[in-house]
Amino acid sequence: MKIIVSFAQVDEVPSFPSKQENADAFDDFNEKMTDHIDANLIYPSDATIHKLKGIVAVNFIIDINGDIKSIKASCENSAILEEESIRIITLLPKFIPGKHNGNKVNVFYSFQMDFH
C-alpha cells in the first residue's frame, strides 16, 4: 500500500458515490457515514441478552480505488460489538477516492461507534 494520509489532513476527502453537489465534502462524508450506520446497525442479540454496551473504536483505509481495506475495531467490553462494527463497515459502497497534492491517495479514517 502506498502513502496513507489521514482523513483530517487530506486535501480532498473521499466521498460517497451519492455526494451532494456544493456540500462541504467533510461534512457530507460524516453525515452519510452516520446515515449508513443508522440504516445498517443491528444490535446483536447476544449483546442485548447480556446487556453489553460500549464504544467501539473503528478505523479503516479507503484506498486509491475507493475500496475499504484494513478494517479494525476495538472495544474493551465486547468482541460481539466489534464484529457488528466490522460488519457495518463491510457494507459501505465503493468510494470516490481521496486526493492529496493532486494525486489519489489511501486515506485513513477513524471514528467511534456508540452501542448504548
Rounded to the nearest 5 percent, the helix, strand and coil shares of the chain are 30, 35, 40
pLDDT in tens, 20-56: 777 799 999 999 999 999 999 999 888 888 888 899 9
pLDDT in tens, 74-115: 998 789 999 999 999 999 999 999 999 999 999 999 999 999
Residue spans of the domains in the chain: they are 4-115
CATH of 4-115, one of 2.10.260, 3.40.50, 3.30.1150, 2.30.30: 3.30.1150
Burial of 96 (0-12, 13-18, 19+ CB in 10 A): middle
Going by pLDDT thresholds of 50, 70 and 90, the confidence category of residue 57 is very high
Could you tell me the pTM of the whole model?
A: 0.90
Q: What is the pLDDT of residue 66?
A: 97
